[in-house]
Amino acid sequence: MIRRTMVVNGRTETVDIEPGLRLIDVLRDRLNLTGTKEGCGEGECGSCSVIVDGTLVLACLTLAESLVDGTRILTVEGLSNDALGARLQRAFLACHAVQCGYCTPGMLLAAHALLTEDPDPTSERIVQALSGNLCRCTGYAMIVEAIQAASREHG
Amino acid sequence: MRVHTPHDLPEALELLASLPGAIPAAGTTDLLPRWHAGRTRPDHLVILTHIPCLRRISVEDDVLYLGALLTHHLLATSAFVTAHVPALSAAALSIGAPAIRNMGTMGGNIANASPAADLPPPLLAHETSLVLSSASSVRILPLHEFFLSYSKVDLQPGEIISEVRIPLLPAHARSFFFKLGTRKAQSIAKVSIAGTALLGRGRVIESIRLAAGSIAPIPLRLHGTESALIGRTLTIDLCDEASRIAMAEVHPIDDVRSTASYRRHAVGVLVHRLLTAIERG
Amino acid sequence: MRVGESPIRVDGEDKVTGRTRFAADLSVQGLWHAAVARSLEPCGRISRLDLPPALEIAPAVIVTADHIPGDNVIAVIEPDMPCLARDRVSYLGEPVALVAAPSARQAREIAARIRVHVDPEPAVWGIEALAIRVLASDPSLTLFSDIRIEDGDVEAALAGSDLTIEGTYMTGLQEHVYIEPQTMIAFVDGNGIRILGSMQCPYYVRPAVARVMALPEERVIVQQAPTGGAFGGKEDYPSTMACHAALLARACGHPVRLVLDRTEDMAFTTKRHASWTRLTTGCTRHGRLEAIDGLLVLDAGAYVTLSPVVLSRALLHACGPYMCPNVSFRAVAVRSNMPPSGAFRGFGAPQSQFAIESQMDEIAHRLCLSPAIVRSTNLLATGDRMATGQVMGESVGARACLESVLLRSGYHEMRTVTGSSPVRTGIGLACCMHGAGFTGNGERRLGSRARLKLTPDGVVDVLVSTTEMGQGLLTTFTQIVCSTLLVPPTLVRFELPDTSLVPDSGPTVASRSTMIVGRLVERASRDLEASLLARIGGQRDKEHVLLPSGQRLTWVEASRRVAPLEAEVQHQVPNDQKWDETSYRGTAYPVYSWGAAVAKVTVDMDTFVVTPDRLWLAYEVGKAVNPLAARGQLEGGSLQALGWALSENITVSDGRYAQDRLQTYIVPTCADAPPMDLEIIEMPWSQGPSGAKGLGELPMNAVAPALRNAVRHAMGLSPTSIPLTPESLMALVERAR
């Protein structure tokens, strides 16, 4: 068992981690942050996308112990307290980019990583940024439009 | 299982040497799902991602040194890599999707020994050598000697791939990567081909190196095709001929992603495209 | 928040903040975890079952068929499928034993130690092999269902036709890939069982659990948790999930959660039926259909489950949106040793319409006519008669859809250009229809109910068993209530579907929710308003209630005076909608929705990779209650159809689906989705809420044949099966050489 301190959505959390625990298990089972979803457990669906120290990663492929103390993690639960996150949430709602909602947290985080790096992306760039996040409900167009809307709202 | 997170290379190698059953790990994109499903049970895992020297990019004496822990994202976006080893950055960009490219590493992509891995073909075509480090030794091994058979590589207990060394080609050399995958993104190769070439006056092929993925139990150089091309003038007819030789040279199989006959056909198409690209510069 | 607007989803904020708790997200006190031990053989008698000793695994528990208190059966239609296999297994992966343990890992490890010994017997699978045996009338084949439509004199009509052509078409298995895997929790509550999970149909789960657990139905409470996509995949399979969880909860005394991991979910739950269709069509030289002689075969899998009704819908859509005076069409669902196939958006109609829409292009090609002209010549219109004898009434948008896609795509101009080698462009067209609501007498048998309750604070509680699974039903129903009662959405509240609280509104399937249940909600709203006004002696004046005294009350003030009030309504099928299920004659569906698609593709003639460049879509849905939600359904369904047509390939290897992971089963990513130019056409239907007809399944029908026809146009060769993988197109070219 290893103790790790991480800053999750701005809050410092200390967690005792047993060997082999994945970041998704820490978030969901230890911190009760169940907004991060497990869709496949092998990095194919993107539902567990989170941002670790500014980088988009998959929580189901991240070994919790491999994170150093002080690692900053952003999950869907932290988006409302973040200007860009809140803008994306509003845009997803307004553009009907949400249906069943299971891919939505991962989509929002992938979009957040994109707009942080490129506040005014082309639609091709948006498509590339979302290409690791499967959605089976929408056909994607309304999600792309939501990200464009969030980007415009900023500009 | 115990997990260790060393911060420098000697410490990591010492852990791997002293802990029985210890295995190195990097992005864990492949390892963690297998561990979680109970398909692998290492006693010790030595995480290499916090060792800065394993991410270096440098050039000395016409050799490009790339740390094994460089992620696919870094390979795809590094100005150095894009300029000197375009096939490698193209291959890195073709892997998975952004989050996977942020996590997966070059060393992992090589050491996993998947026949469908995207980075080995361009690395083979660039005559890459691996630096294999352990607590007691450092050895340098040409990449083509590293792959032994399906899922088997020449990596001794306690050893890691610490670096790859890519001899720089002259500025007028050509380097390309072509992949036929399962879809437009998040795509596993049905067939991939990488190639480098130097063309002389009158488009005479002075040197050429071709390598392919997903066509045999291990990634392979296409030596037969190369030797048929060397010294000859690169024409459309020669492209056709090379395609046919390449198709005869590979030994693909049927699997969940494609069929042997399609793969063989695709090798011909991709070799043709690669040679055409080389010809056009 | 009125009908015709696109307000923000009522469940949207919880979904973008991560607050929505799906069944896997719920913290449950004392929860144990389940795992399933399955057969490793596709067919044979169980000779022995090796279980680890109870003492070794304690406190974990194992449940086998011998522990089932009630009937060992999950009866979707026929009582042929065991809850746990006892004497024999009929497909690889069939559940044989169940494990519950304090941790999911323990449960999985124990399940892996259970050994099912089977004396193997010959097994059958593969749609082509099955079809050949159907053609040979092989007596060893089990036909779960064998139905026909007969109309006119096909033999004579074929003999007299200018052109007779035969075509055989196949469609592959398709996995739903709802992003939330199947999840179910069971609680032992007093002397009953409570089920909470991801599902479409709480009132399917309740009788299934009651029968297995030997409980009266009222002692089984079934609650739907927020559901992360379903597409038919959570229509019948949740009954099995719930029975398994319930058995374990009873055995261990803890709440038990069963979550299928993605591979289990892909390998063993239901799929869209693979299909094989042979069509012989006769037509005039101008392309008018004279006769259709057809045989359709579905691979049902090992048990009956929903296959007869899927087959029925397939047959009823097998002539497409066309009039044909002479039809002889037989359809059979055949047993195999694969996991049962089941419901999947479209429910058989996409398979049979793929065949007829492919055949329409073959007819056009042979007659040197435009595929658009051939379709236009035969499209159903008001007053036309289908082969079942049903006469088309109001709201027939077939032609409007065809004209819309032709005009917007510039189909005729693009047909003339096909590009040159190696990259060729192709344009393909297809039309479709979809019968909305249950087939035949289904709605009459169901007699669906909806109840509204008015509370003293003016809140209208909507009590329906219809489930939200992403399609936006909570929002559209809110709009219907708001539009009818002229109240703000803050006064509309939903109970999560819970069989102890809500009446049976029927299952959430068959494009019936908005059209049938939405209409009930509309009617119940009117009834509620009428009884409020009667009690209070007033009348409505816009949002207010006007009393005889001239006093104007707000809705909340009026409610306070008369609440609580209730209104419950039941669906009644009009007497003129009659269906005879033996002769297959009458009104199969009260109304149809219509569609058309044009697809533009690029085919790389070297690699045989098909790139869909753009889709032009038109769907006629009566009335879009929420246009953006409708767009989401129609685009999402169209992309699902595109995946089915191009990349979603399932092959069978040793009785197991070879593509059982998201890495190998290729669904479209964002980068694979072409731009879609969509027009929603509204031709209101007088019996739908504000004119609405069902639309959820409609987009599954036309896109696949449009893509096939585009590929045919580009290549000049006729693909007969989907998915149109590069491998299959290469084989097509090789056969043509």
Instruction: Say what the ipTM of the complex is.
Output: 0.98
Cβ atoms A56, A110 nearer than 8 A = yes
A interface test, pick of C670, C678, C695 with most A CB neighbours within 10 Å? C670
Pick from A46, A56, A60: CB nearest B102: A56
Question: Angle CA(C430)–CA(C435)–CA(C436) in degrees, nearest 5?
Answer: 125
CB contact under 8 A, A142 and C178: no
pLDDT tops 90 at residue C448: yes
pLDDT of residue C192: 97
Residues 6+ apart with CB under 8 A from C565: C453, C454, C528, C531, C532, C535, C559
Q: What is the mean pLDDT of residues C303-328?
A: 98
Strand partners, C171: C275, C722
Indicate the DSSP class of residue C490. Answer: G
C33 in reach of chain A (CB within 8 A): no
**For residue C40, what pLDDT is reported?**
97
Nearest to B183 among C108, C647, C730 (CB): C647
Confidence band (pLDDT; 50, 70, 90) for C419? low
Tell me which chain C residue has its CA closest to the CA of residue B187.
C663
In the structure, how many helices (H) and strands (E) does chain C have? 20, 31
Beta carbons within 10 angstroms of residue C463's beta carbon: 22
Q: Does A76 lie at the interface with C, CB-CB under 8 angstroms?
A: yes
Mean residue pLDDT across chain A = 97
**Chain segment A55-110, per-residue pLDDT in tens:** 999 999 999 999 999 999 999 999 999 999 999 999 999 999 999 999 999 999 99
- pLDDT over 70 (residue B205): yes
What pLDDT digit, counting tens, does each position of C514-562 carry?
999 999 999 999 999 999 999 999 999 999 999 999 999 999 999 999 9
Q: Which residues of A touch B45 (CB under 8 A)?
A: 63
Give, as one character, the DSSP assignment of residue C498: B
Would you state the structure tokens that stand for residue A55, as one six-digit string?
């980088």
* A137 in C contact zone (CB under 8 Å): yes
Instruction: Look at residue C422 and give its three-state secondary structure.
Output: coil
Per-residue pLDDT, C422: 87
Type of residue at B162:
S
A132 touches chain C (CB under 8 A): yes
User: Residue B50 is encoded by which pair of tokens?
Assistant: 């916090």
Hey, is the C-beta of A140 within 8 angstroms of any chain C C-beta? yes
Q: Is C9 on the interface with A (CB under 8 A)?
A: yes
Residues contacting residue C437 through CB under 8 Å, at least 6 positions apart: C443, C510, C511, C512, C515, C516, C589, C590, C591, C694
Asked whether the beta carbons of residue B257 and residue C606 sit closer than 8 angstroms, the reply is no
Cβ contact, residue pair C671, B258, below 8 Å = no
- Kindly determine whether residue B38 and residue C658, on different chains, have CB atoms separated by under 8 Å: no
Is the CB of C726 less than 8 angstroms away from the CB of B262?
Answer: yes
The secondary element (H helix, E strand) that includes residue C120 is: strand C115-120
Interface test with C, best of B256, B265, B267 (most C CBs within 10 A): B256
Which residue, chain included where needed, has tokens 């077939």? C398
Cβ distance C730 to B269 less than 8 Å, yes or no, reads no
Confidence of residue B274 (pLDDT cuts 50, 70, 90): very high
Residues 227-266 of C with CB under 8 A from A: 227-231, 261-262
- Chain B residue with CA closest to A54: the answer is B102
Is residue B193 pLDDT above 70, yes or no? yes
- Alpha carbon dihedral C96, C98, C104, C105, in 10-degree steps, equals -50
Instruction: Kindly report the number of other CB atoms within 10 A of residue C615's CB atom.
Output: 29
Shortest distance between the Cα of A34 and any Cα of chain C, in A, equals 5
Tell me which chain A residues have a C-beta less than 8 angstroms from the C-beta of B102: 55-57
Angle subtended at Cα B55 by Cα B52 and Cα B56, rounded to the nearest 5 degrees: 100
Listed in sequence order, the DSSP H helices in A4-140 are: 23-25, 83-94, 104-117, 123-130
Contact across the interface for A55 and B45, Cβ inside 8 Å: no
Q: Which residues contact B113 (CB under 8 A, 6 or more apart)?
A: B147, B150, B151, B152, B153, B218
Query: Is A61 close to B49, i.e. CB distance below 8 A?
Result: no
Most C CBs within 10 Å, among B36, B101, B118, B186, to test the C interface? B186
Contact at 8 Å (CB) between B85 and B99? no
Burial B138-173 (b: 16+ CB within 10 A, else e): eeeeebbebbeeeeebebeebbbbbbbbbeebeeeb
| Predicted pLDDT of residue A155 | 61
Please report residues of A whose CB lies closer than 8 A to that of C272. none
pLDDT at residue C475, as a whole number: 98
> Cα dihedral sign for C405, C411, C413, C418?
positive
Q: In chain B, how long is the greatest CA-to-CA distance?
A: 61
Across the range C246-260, mean pLDDT stands at 98
From the list C482, C467, C464, C443, the residue with the least C-alpha distance to C567 is C464
Crossing angle of helices C237-252 and C202-213, rounded to 10°: 40
| Residue A28 per-residue DSSP state | I
**Eight-class DSSP state of C188:** E
Beta bridge partners of C405: none
| CB-CB contact of B209 with B219 (8 Å) | no
CB proximity A113 to B under 8 Å: yes
Task: Please identify which residue in the block is written with the tokens 């299909």.
Answer: C275
Q: Which of the four pLDDT bands, split at 50, 70 and 90, describes residue C420?
A: low
Phi/psi at C39 (5° precision)? -70, 140
The residues that bridge with C35 in the sheet, in sequence order, are: C99
- Is residue C534 within 8 angstroms of chain A, CB to CB? no
CB-nearest to A43 from B1, B25, B29 is B29
Q: Percent of chain C having pLDDT more than 70? A: 99
Say how many C-beta atoms besides its own lie within 10 A of residue C444's C-beta: 14
Pair C609, A72: CB distance under 8 Å: no
Instruction: Indicate the burial class of A14 (C-beta count within 10 angstroms; 0-12, 13-18, 19 or more).
Output: exposed
* CA–CA gap between residue C737 and residue C730 (Å, rounded): 11
Determine phi and psi for C250, rounding to 5 degrees: -65, -40
- The pLDDT mean for chain C works out to 97
Res. B185 pLDDT band, cuts 50 70 90: very high
pLDDT at B160 over 70: yes
Which class for B90: exposed (0-12), middle (13-18), buried (19 or more C-beta within 10 A)?
buried
Q: Would you say residue A37 has pLDDT above 90?
A: yes
Per the listing, tokens 């992971």 go with: C661
pLDDT bucket at B125, cuts 50 / 70 / 90: very high
Chain C residue with minimal CA distance to B179? C607
Nearest in space to B160 (alpha carbons), one of B10, B7, B3, B4: B10
The per-residue DSSP string of C208-237 comes to HHHHHHT--GGGEEEEEPP-S--TTTTTSH
Distance CA C350, CA C434 (A): 9
Neighbours of A53 (CB within 10 A): 13
Question: Which of C9, C13, C17 should one mutate to test binding to chain A, selecting the residue with the greatest count of A CBs within 10 A?
Answer: C17
Is there a contact between A130 and C635 if contact means CB atoms under 8 Å apart?
no
Which residues in chain B are contacts of C670 at CB distance < 8 A?
A: 185
With a CB cutoff of 8 Å and minimum separation 6, the contacts of B129 are B140, B141, B142, B143, B164, B165
Query: Which three-class secondary structure state does DSSP give residue B259?
Result: coil
Residue C174 DSSP code:
B
Residues from chain C that touch A136, judged by Cβ atoms under 8 A, are 176-179, 229, 231, 636, 640, 667
Helices (H), B151-259: 223-229, 236-249
Q: Is the pLDDT of residue B234 over 90?
A: yes
Token code pair at residue C586: 């009458």
Q: Chains A, B: CB contacts under 8 A, how many? A: 84
* C672–B183 C-beta distance less than 8 A: yes
Q: Does B180 touch chain C (CB under 8 A)?
A: yes
What the block records as the tokens of B168 is 């720089």
Collapse the DSSP code of B59 into the 3-class scheme (helix H, G, I; strand E, B; otherwise coil) and give the result.
strand
Q: DSSP string of C576-629?
A: T--EETTTTEE-SSSEEEEEEEEEEEEEETTT--EEEEEEEEEEE-S--SSHHH
- Residue B112 in contact with partner chain C when CB distance is under 8 A: no
Owner of token pair 């006190």 = C29
Asked if A3 is an interface residue toward chain B (Cβ–Cβ < 8 A), one would say no
**Of A96, A105, A136, which is closest to C178 when you measure between CB atoms?**
A136
pLDDT at C495: 82
Chains contacting A with at least 3 CB pairs below 8 Å? Answer: B, C
**Least CB-CB distance to A132: which of B32, B45, B99?**
B99
DSSP letter at B77 equals: H
d(CA C407, CA C413): 10
pLDDT at B232 over 80: yes
> How confident is the model at residue B39, as a pLDDT?
87
Whether residues C18 and A35 touch (CB distance < 8 A) is answered with yes
Q: For residue C596, what pLDDT is reported?
A: 99
A63 touches chain B (CB under 8 A): yes
Interface check B97 vs C, CB under 8 A: yes
Length of chain A: 155
**What residues form DSSP beta bridges with C64?**
C97
pLDDT digits (tens, 9 = 90+) for C66-104: 999 999 999 999 999 999 999 999 999 999 999 999 999
Percent over 90 (pLDDT), chain C:
98
Question: Using a CB-CB distance cutoff of 8 angstroms, which residues of chain A are in contact with residue C629?
Answer: 96
Mean pLDDT (whole number) for C430-440: 96
Do you find a cis peptide bond into C181, omega within 30 degrees of 0?
no
Q: What's C156's DSSP letter?
A: H
In whole angstroms, give the CA distance from residue C601 to residue C613.
5
The token pair that represents C52 in the structure block: 């680890």
Chain B residues inside the 8 Å CB shell of C173:
none
- Give me the residue from C21, C639, C662 closest to A45, CB to CB: C662
Average model confidence (pLDDT) across chain B: 96
Over residues C170-221, the pLDDT tens digits come to: 999 999 999 999 999 999 999 999 999 999 999 999 999 999 999 999 999 9
List alpha helices for C384-465, DSSP H: 398-409, 411-415, 442-446
Alpha-carbon C727 to chain mean position: 29
Interchain contact, C25 vs A138, CB within 8 Å = no
d(CA C414, CA B230): 45
Summarize pLDDT for B133-147 with one digit per residue, the tens: 999 999 999 999 999
